[in-house]
């Protein structure tokens, strides 16, 4: 499990890899305020043992990557998306399977919209096509009108002002205009959507919309799974679903669209 720091322009990103670098790559993108090491070791090892080159990393502003004063150097999900792509560039990876959870799922969708040629597939977990509903709800800002449910209010009240919410990543989500929903029907990248029935932060209806509106997307709803790292039995269901999907899917190179 070699770890390293790579320079990507003005910032440094920490990453750790598993498996043979000549194998098809899987880039794991964590959610807001989460370190790359929150992807469980056994999950990463299992993907590597199945024949993939697995990379987990720290976003800017977390862990061992470069930290920012957001007031002086604000950024959006577009910069976080470019960070992910720049890491792949630094590792000389042209295409990868990308697995994104929560905010990492927002980033993965932005890659699929703007850089589909970089994706072998996308797996979207515990995430939404309307990031501002989630981010603004947790920051107690006015949320845009939508047919999708916001997080449960009792969860918002419990988490408001905590270190898990008061992150520059959440500020970046709020600062990013628009959403990906209007582009879902133009996503032809092989897609797997995974959500849990007990997700109180991103209600599973958000995942159902992703699966329904992305052409040919596969949908896995895991009973009793919430938001964040699941217990071992549910993690195994998640892992098995991803491996089955990866085994069956092939990459299509697509024209680029700009969000």
Mean pLDDT of 25-36: 96
pLDDT, residue 227, reads: 94
Name the superfamily (CATH) of residues 3-248.
Alpha/Beta hydrolase fold, catalytic domain (3.40.50.1820)
pLDDT in tens, 49-103: 999 999 999 999 999 999 999 999 999 999 999 999 999 999 999 999 999 999 9
pLDDT, residue 161, reads: 86
Helix residue ranges per DSSP H, the chain? 41-49, 77-90, 103-114, 131-138, 153-159, 168-175, 204-213, 232-248
Neighbouring C-beta atoms of residue 247, cutoff 10 Å: 9
Helix axes 168-175, 77-90, angle to 10 degrees: 110
pTM of the prediction? 0.94
Convert 154-185 into a string of H (helix), E (strand) and C (coil). Answer: HHHHHHCCCCCCCCHHHHHHHHCCCCCHHHHH
Neighbouring C-beta atoms of residue 119, cutoff 10 Å: 23
Q: Is the pLDDT of residue 139 over 90?
A: yes
pLDDT in tens, 203-219: 999 999 999 999 999 99
Establish how many alpha carbons lie within 13 A of residue 80's alpha carbon, considering only the half-sphere containing its beta carbon: 34
Establish how many alpha carbons lie within 13 A of residue 29's alpha carbon, considering only the half-sphere containing its beta carbon: 33
Nearest to 75 by CA among 11, 139, 7: 11
**Distances from the Cα of 28 to the Cαs of 143, 161, 224, in angstroms?**
28, 27, 23
């Amino acid at each position: 499990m070699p770890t390293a720091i790579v320079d990507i322009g003005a910032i440094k990103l920490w990453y750790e890899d598993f498996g043979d670098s000549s194998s098809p790559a899987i880039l794991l993108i964590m959610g807001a305020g989460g370190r790359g090491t929150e992807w469980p070791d056994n999950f990463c090892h299992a993907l590597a043992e199945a024949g993939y080159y697995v990379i987990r990393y720290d976003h800017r502003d977390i862990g061992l990557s470069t930290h920012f004063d957001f007031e002086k150097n604000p950024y959006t999900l577009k910069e976080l998306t470019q960070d992910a792509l720049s890491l792949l560039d630094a590792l000389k990876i042209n295409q990868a399977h990308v697995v994104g959870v929560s905010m990492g799922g927002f980033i993965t969708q932005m890659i699929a919209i703007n850089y589909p040629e970089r994706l072998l597939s996308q797996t979207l977990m515990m995430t939404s096509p309307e990031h501002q509903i989630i981010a603004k709800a947790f920051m107690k800002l006015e949320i845009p009108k939508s047919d999708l449910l916001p997080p449960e209010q009792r969860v918002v009240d419990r988490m408001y002002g905590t270190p898990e919410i008061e992150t520059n990543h959440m500020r970046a989500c709020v600062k990013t205009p628009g959403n990906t929903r209007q582009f879902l029907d133009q996503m032809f990248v092989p897609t797997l959507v995974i959500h849990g029935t007990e997700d109180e932060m991103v209600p599973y209806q958000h995942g159902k919309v992703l699966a329904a509106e992305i052409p040919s997307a596969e949908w896995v709803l895991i009973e009793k799974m919430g938001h964040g790292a699941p217990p071992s039995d549910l993690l195994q269901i998640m892992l098995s679903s991803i491996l089955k999907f990866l085994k069956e899917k092939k990459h299509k190179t697509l024209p680029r669209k700009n969000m």
